[in-house]
A and B are shown apart, each in its own frame.
Chain A
Amino acid sequence: NAGVTQTPKFRVLKTGQSMTLLCAQDMNHEYMYWYRQDPGMGLRLIHYSVGEGTTAKGEVPDGYNVSRLKKQNFLLGLESAAPSQTSVYFCASSLQMGRSEAFFGQGTRLTVV
């Protein structure tokens, strides 16, 4: 039972580099989310998706782009990484929005130097 899988688990980027974080879920969930977690700030929503082919901005979307070409995958892209994007990134999925459990991936620890 894989649940929600994130790749990679760790990454170090240089300022200005780009990368894509992949989130895959095998629970046939419609809703998927990308959060970042920083010390003292809690979990903040970056982008989310309510279904295949849809995306929406969350609380802190600047500097990130997302795509949901397949229902099971939700990609988070950083076009030009900045040190302020050093964080732990969590992907999550849920069957319903707001009324069912959200399942999280194990997180991606990203450092931008």
Chain B
Amino acid sequence: RKEVEQDPGPFNVPEGATVAFNCTYSNSASQSFFWYRQDCRKEPKLLMSVYSSGNEDGRFTAQLNRASQYISLLIRDSKLSDSATYLCVVPLPRSGNTPLVFGKGTRLSVIA
């Protein structure tokens, strides 16, 4: 299994829809997880952090399943402005040489 894997999409959904992305990771020792958002031709920006079983912020919910080694991002009531690429980030334990491992991203397009 690759260190961090994401479904590349694209996910094309209508406004108001609920959409979910999954991200699987290989290192069971990883303790914290992040979702970043990247707009076209822009830098990544933190969307949510996940340290325990999950986190919720408005329309966004992130969940962690340690047993199956995946995290998910759920977006409810999708807006046009949610169109972006969502990057799953899994920091590896200090002994590795890739302290922050990024998934390749899942592209979301919300359509009017």
Which residue on chain B has the smallest CB distance to residue A94? B100
Give a binary string over A73-113; 1 marks a CB under 8 Å from any B CB, 0 the rest: 00000000000000000101000011101101111000000
Please give the distance in Å from A23's CB to the nearest CB on chain B. 12
Q: What is the predominant secondary structure among interface residues of chain B facing chain A? A: loop
Give Cα distance in the complex from A31 to B94, angstroms: 13
With A42-B87, A105-B43, A107-B43 known as contacts, the answer to whether A98 contacts B102 (CB < 8 A) is no
A90, B43: Cβ atoms under 8 Å?
A: yes
B2 to chain A, nearest CB (A): 11
The answer to whether B45 and A97 have CB atoms under 8 Å apart is: no
| A92 nearest CB across to chain B (Å) | 8
B102, A43: Cβ atoms closer than 8 Å? yes
B-side interface size class: 20 to 34
B49 within 8 A of A: yes
B49 touches A42 (CB 8 A): no
B44 contact set on A, CB distance < 8 A: 43, 90, 104
Interface residues in chain A, defined as those with a beta carbon under 8 Å from any beta carbon in chain B: 31, 33, 35, 40-45, 48, 56-59, 90, 92, 97-99, 101-102, 104-107
Contacts A97-B100, A104-B45, A107-B41 aside, 15 further interface pairs with beta carbons under 8 A come to A41-B104, A42-B103, A43-B44, A43-B102, A45-B98, A56-B97, A58-B97, A59-B98, A90-B43, A97-B94, A98-B91, A98-B93, A101-B34, A101-B49, A107-B42
Hey, which bits of chain B sit against chain A, CB under 8 A?
31-32, 34, 41-46, 49, 87, 89, 91-94, 97-105
